[in-house]
Each structure stands twice: as structure tokens, then as C-alpha cells.
Amino acid sequence: MNLELVSTEADELFVDRTAGDRGSKGAFFHAYDDPDGESRWGFLCANCEAADNAVDTMGRIECNECGNVRKPDGWDDAHE
């Protein structure tokens, strides 16, 4: 795993830009709080480079900075 050190407003994270989830405006890259990628921290929004994201139990991810959204797993119209 090739991790890139990224400094956000509150944290220094190690980001895997080869692994992520597709969003409406850009990918959500997997972020870790250690350089070995053993401790998953969350996601980094590729659209605005923010780490301030909300994740729910259905797998929905939303960037609180730019509104980039990944639809939940098992998406259907009942979730709107």
C-alpha cells in the first residue's frame, strides 16, 4: 500500500489514493491514522480534500464541506 501524508485542519492522515469509493463529485479515498495503513481513520474527499465526512450505517458518505455524496449500499428510492 502506497500511502500519502495529508495534513488537514485537525489531523495528519495517511491516504491511499488507489482505494476509495465513488462519490457524486469525486472519490472518497481511504484514510488511515498510521503510516502502515493498519488503523483506518475514515475518508478524504477528493473533490475538496476535506476529511470532515459523515458516514451512516448504510454506507452513505457525505462530505460536510462540499456536499460530495456516496449513495448507500443497497440504494433504492425508499432511502430518499
pLDDT digits (tens, 9 = 90+) for 40-76: 999 999 999 999 999 998 889 999 999 999 998 765 5
Q: Can you read off the three cell numbers belonging to residue 77? A: 428510492
Q: Could you tell me the pLDDT band of residue 15, with boundaries at 50, 70 and 90? A: very high
Are 42 and 28 spatial neighbours (Cβ–Cβ below 8 Å)? no
Among 15, 20, 50, which residue's Cα sits nearest to residue 31? 15
Residue 77 has pLDDT above 70, yes or no: no
- pTM (two decimals): 0.84
The one-letter amino acid at 15 = V
What are the residue ranges spanned by the domains of the chain? Answer: 4-75
